[in-house]
Amino acid sequence: MTRASAPPNLLQLQKADTASARVAALRTLKNELIGHDQRKEHYIVAGIVPLLAQQLASQWPGPTGESSDGLAPARTDQNSDELEVYLQTIYVVGSLAQGGPTFLAPIFASDILPNLLATLSSPDCPPSFRLPILRLLNTIADRIPLLSQDQGPQDTRLADLVFASEPIGAIRRIIAQDYANHGSQACIELAAALIGKLCTEEAHKTTLAENGVLDALSIKVASFVVAQGYVLPGAENYVQEPGALGQMPPPAPESARLAPILRAVTVIIEQSKWRAGHFLSSPGLVTVFPKQDPGFAASDIKRGPWGGTYLSGSAVPRNSGTNPVDMLLPSVPLANTRSPGSSDFPPLIGSISPQHGRHSQSRTSPSFPIQPAAEDDENSVIPWLLCLVRSESGMLRLMAARLVTALFRLGLAKKHRVPMFSYLLVPILLRMLDKDFELMDEPVSFGDGLITPTQRLKEEAPAVLANLVMDDQELQRHAVEGNALKRLSQLLKETYNPVPECQRPMWFSEGDSTPQINESTSPECRIGPPGYSPSLCHVMRYRENILKALAALVPFKDEYRKSLCEYGVVPYIIDSLKPRPRDAPIDPTSMPKNSAADGNPTPTLLAACGAARMLTRSVSVLRTSLIDGGVAQPLFTLLKHPDLDVQIAATAAICNLALDFSPMKEAIITSNIIPILCENAHSPNIKLRIESLWALKHVVYNSGNDIKMRVVDALSPTWLHQVMTQDPVNALARRGQDDEMDQSTEIAMGRANSAGEQVDILNPVEDTNDSAGDTKMDDGTPSSKVTLDKFFPDARRQRKLVLHGNLEQSTQSRQDDIAVQEQTFDLIRNIICGTGAAEMIDYLFDKIGQDAMLDALADNLRPRSIPLPPHRDPSSRAIQVPREILVAVTAVLVHIAAGTPRHRQVLMSHGDLLWSLKSYFDHPSRDVRVSCVWLVINLIYEEDTTDFEGCRERAIKLKSLGIGERLSSLAEDPDLDIKERTKTAVHLLNKFG
């Protein structure tokens, strides 16, 4: 290997034969490299990185034992010079990393990071090592986003190393330690900050939760609750209860920062109700925020002869159910709309709400629940976070808002919080969008040094606002009335202002002495690409979050979408759909200048697709601003993007362009998009499959038969039949049985939810009532000092978290499988409706096979049963056909029956179709019931006099099957449409029968 001549200081380090000599050489190297990127490049090419990795590997001998708290003091058998060699080596590596993304490639190619993490994971790692190692890891984590802002996948190399089993244990121990001094405080905050920067993958989030890091973070949160004086009154009486810490956690020092802790908690629990519930039931929060009970007097609680308890008629709760922390929040006006049956007065104790009357307790057992209702069962973390949002400032305020928003989105906050969010949270987030907003008291030293704290806050605030107002029209209204659309529109335009260039070409004092790198040079001695400037990456993230906020504000109101057009933001959204050119050289002279021609990275493309999709919901906007701006072509281009998520987002937006009223539907057909959609419908990625089928469903509606035939042929009749005959419910049941064979607990068909109740994974229901059992633990609580490792991880809570994660994954898999089949049936329905429907029915019968197609439809109507394991139940268990499948299949049958008399006769002659269908006339879904009635009408509808005998035969057969009795049960259906259609069906049956 040919290498440039080594600098003298590097040769001095290579020749040093004593620890003191190596310390001197490393210090000289450190001083020479700081602030000199050209020297760093020269030293890397000369081979400094392998030499540094060698120093780290040789100077750390390994573990000798672990202290009681998991964090041992410095070793006494280690020479101080040897420790200093290791420390100075870390400093030199940190200096290289400070140079930017150019110098990360050789670091990743070496063993430096594994060696550092092995040292950090060692039980006897000296405290003097932890802080510089964590600082180095954070420095690298800050610069990883600068590496790739184009189509490449997200770089998770550092995250994969940090979130391995042993480093996670070290991070947990670091976070769990007490705030003993400034060094431990800095380590805690840096470890939490590292999680906030690196934890983006679902697997990493799950691993952190299952390995006790989330519990460790919760104890730190509890320390701040203690320090701020928000502990619930009387909480000290519950510290010895199962699930608590045994004593109050020590208060956090005044100089400690809560924002990194809240960010780490948020990134772990976001988009997972089970992880969020795990956090709320953690020992730290249970200790400071014990669950409040009504506090009835002992004399008010009576025990009946049946063994249950009930309340006396004069029972009055001592605790009204109001959270004490709520008393610190200002009162806000109630929402304008109230649910039916709502009253200005609270319900009487023990009264039963009308909506739960059908499932209420029998009169023969007059027991009343002592625990409050699920709506009142809200953790005190919610009002505490709102108090932080009101009283704090800067990044802590934003992180509190982000965490409370995440909990609200997961359904863990009261529904009546919406007015409080509208009046307290939305205005604060909007204030952060102002141009003149500046952070005055945020310490710059805690930032990444790449952008200012104010820029970081402004960058993240739109994303929090987007998550808050998503799917809630009341919050959207308050944000729009607060001028959010105008502010965000202006900010989006400003993101296209030229970015000032901060990078300068490297200068060398000895002329053009840039080291030449040969192809044979090892990766450790080869610098990487320069990456992108921090300011450009900041603008891209800012643009991405602004687009998310705009999309979240306009999904329901057409007037909001029109306002966006009036603000002139549509051309900028369309420009945001343009990807960054592939294989474009990245160097200081060709750095993107942030123009529309420079394109956008993948996250911005995803956000822009979401904004475009929301705008395409408006017919007027679609026919004016979007078609004038040329939104179709960028979306068509993104269908071929190498990133699957971009393909999915673009296809979802094209679904609205393909609607029948859209002027761009013809462009989809003429631009040869149909073959791409058909190809993507076969994708292994199930999300892309669903969106592609959805778009095709819209394309074929009211299109000519030639287009419909092209779609059928491109999808393949064999593939259509395969999807029609698949059974996602039985497939899930088989997966559940396999899981049960692998588990010692009953977690296959019935799994325990967070309240300890059995949950049916085949027909899951939303879990809204976590019982007090959530906080119970098998381990005893310590009597004197809080030994934190006893709670990390707690076996019972960890097992529950794993089971809930499996349940969540199984439920999502089932929903995806059902969605694919549902969209396929909807596609077939649209193919056989409209002009030329009879021809298309015959075409499908010919391509798929008449008997095969009808058998597939009948199979999807037939009730299923699955065999359960012998130790569960010797009999088979009946399971319901998903409502979505019933609606889609019956709609296909309705359209076949609307064909020719021959098609109607084909349906009547099938042995199982009508027999299976008659059990759905009383289905809870009105869509299923109305389809059943329409099918009867179409089967006995007389097109002309030549079909009279056929109608009479079909009517007689329908009566013999008992359809007449089924229809009579719908004569008084609460749905007016069903009632009227039933009259028509009964009339036709009586006419011909």
Highest mean pLDDT among 515-529, 561-575, 577-591, 776-790: 561-575
**What is the pLDDT at residue 747?**
32
How does DSSP assign 413-482, residue by residue?
S-TTHHHHIIIIIHHHHHHTTSTT---SS--GGGS-SSS-HHHHHHHHHHHHHHHHHTT-HHHHHHHHHT
Task: Determine which helix (DSSP H) or strand (DSSP E) holds 723, and give its type and residue range.
Answer: helix 717-725
Compute the distance between CA of residue 899 and CA of residue 895 in angstroms, rounded to an integer.
7
Question: For the ranges 5-19, 183-197, 459-473, 827-841, which has the lowest average pLDDT?
Answer: 5-19
**What is the pLDDT at residue 555?**
93
| Confidence bin at 499 (pLDDT 50/70/90) | confident
| Confidence bin at 437 (pLDDT 50/70/90) | confident
Q: For 595-608, give one letter per residue: b (16+ CB within 10 A) or e.
A: eeebbbbbbbbbbb
pTM equals 0.84
Which of 607, 545, 620, 619 lies closest to 575 in space, CA to CA? 607
| Contact between 455 and 437 (Cβ < 8 Å) | no
Three-class secondary structure assignment of 766-801: CCCCCCHHHHCCCCCCCCCCCCHHHHCCCHHHHHHH
| Contact between 129 and 174 (Cβ < 8 Å) | no
| Confidence bin at 728 (pLDDT 50/70/90) | low
| Confidence bin at 92 (pLDDT 50/70/90) | very high
Residue 317 confidence (pLDDT) above 80: no
| Confidence bin at 947 (pLDDT 50/70/90) | confident
**pLDDT tens digits, one per residue of 403-424:** 999 999 999 988 888 999 999 9
DSSP class of residue 620 equals H
- Ramachandran assignment for 234, one of left (phi > 0), alpha (psi -120 to 50 degrees), beta (any other): left
- 732's tokens: 């899930």
Please tell me the number of Cα atoms within 13 Å of 674 on its side-chain side.
Answer: 21
| Confidence bin at 309 (pLDDT 50/70/90) | low
Mean pLDDT across the stretch 728-747?
A: 47
Mean pLDDT across the stretch 590-600?
A: 74
Instruction: Determine what percent of the chain is predicted with pLDDT higher than 70.
Output: 76
Task: Determine which helix (DSSP H) or strand (DSSP E) holds 758, and give its type and residue range.
Answer: strand 758-760
Mean pLDDT across the stretch 379-396?
A: 93
Q: Is the dihedral of CA 898, 901, 902, 904 positive or negative?
A: positive
| Contact between 402 and 266 (Cβ < 8 Å) | yes
Which of 568, 704, 498, 584 lies closest to 150 in space, CA to CA? 584
| Confidence bin at 75 (pLDDT 50/70/90) | very low
**What is the pLDDT at residue 763?**
35
| Contact between 294 and 372 (Cβ < 8 Å) | yes
**What is the pLDDT at residue 363?**
31
Residue 615 confidence (pLDDT) above 50: yes
**What is the pLDDT at residue 754?**
32
Residue 892 confidence (pLDDT) above 60: yes
Which of 121, 163, 168, 159 lies closest to 140 in space, CA to CA? 159
Residue 767 confidence (pLDDT) above 80: no
Compute the distance between CA of residue 587 and CA of residue 529 in angstroms, rounded to an integer.
7
Angle between helices 644-657 and 674-681 (to 10 degrees): 130
Question: For the ranges 40-44, 255-259, 731-735, 758-762, which has the lowest average pLDDT?
Answer: 758-762
SS3 371: coil
Please tell me the number of Cα atoms within 13 Å of 399 on its side-chain side.
Answer: 20
| Contact between 774 and 755 (Cβ < 8 Å) | yes
| Confidence bin at 870 (pLDDT 50/70/90) | low
CB atoms within 10 A of CB 531: 23
Residue 158 confidence (pLDDT) above 60: yes
**What is the pLDDT at residue 512?**
40
Question: For the ranges 174-178, 192-196, 351-355, which has the lowest average pLDDT?
Answer: 351-355
- Ramachandran assignment for 471, one of left (phi > 0), alpha (psi -120 to 50 degrees), beta (any other): left
Q: Which long-range contacts (CB under 8 A, 24 or more apart) does 152-160 make?
A: 153/643, 154/200, 156/198, 156/200, 156/201, 157/108, 158/108, 158/113, 158/198, 159/198, 159/199, 159/200, 159/201, 159/204
| Contact between 857 and 720 (Cβ < 8 Å) | no
Question: For the ranges 250-259, 822-831, 947-956, which has the lowest average pLDDT?
Answer: 947-956
Is pLDDT larger for residue 261 or for residue 762?
261
Q: Which amino acid is at 409?
A: R
**What is the pLDDT at residue 626?**
87
**pLDDT tens digits, one per residue of 788-818:** 444 444 666 666 676 666 666 777 788 888 9
- 347's tokens: 């319900």
SS3 106: helix
Residue with token string 């802080």: 131
Is pLDDT larger for residue 152 or for residue 426?
426
Mean pLDDT across the stretch 894-899?
A: 94
**What is the pLDDT at residue 155?**
83
CB atoms within 10 A of CB 706: 8
**What is the pLDDT at residue 778?**
34
Residue 91 confidence (pLDDT) above 90: yes
Question: For the ranges 123-127, 643-647, 789-793, 978-982, which has the lowest average pLDDT?
Answer: 789-793
Mean pLDDT across the stretch 774-779?
A: 32
CB atoms within 10 A of CB 917: 26
Residue 60 confidence (pLDDT) above 70: no
Compute the distance between CA of residue 581 and CA of residue 544 in angstroms, rounded to an integer.
18
- 428's tokens: 């604060």
**What is the pLDDT at residue 113?**
94
Residue 746 confidence (pLDDT) above 70: no
Q: Which residues contact 296 (CB under 8 A, 6 or more apart)?
A: 311, 315, 316, 317, 318, 370
Residue 338 confidence (pLDDT) above 50: no
| Contact between 667 and 632 (Cβ < 8 Å) | yes
How open is the CA angle 275-550-423, to the nearest 5 degrees?
Answer: 70
Is pLDDT larger for residue 58 or for residue 315?
58
Residue 738 confidence (pLDDT) above 60: no
Which of 158, 9, 149, 160 lies closest to 88 in space, CA to CA? 9
**pLDDT tens digits, one per residue of 119-133:** 999 888 888 899 999
Residue 731 confidence (pLDDT) above 60: no
**Domains of the chain (ranges, CATH numbers):** 1-147 (1.25.10.10), 164-289 (no CATH), 806-992 (1.25.10.10)
Compute the distance between CA of residue 754 and CA of residue 15 in angstroms, rounded to an integer.
62
Mean pLDDT across the stretch 656-665?
A: 88
**pLDDT tens digits, one per residue of 671-693:** 889 999 999 999 999 999 999 99
DSSP class of residue 208 equals H
Compute the distance between CA of residue 638 and CA of residue 879 in angstroms, rounded to an integer.
41
Compute the mean pLDDT over every residue in the chain, rounded to the nearest whole number: 80
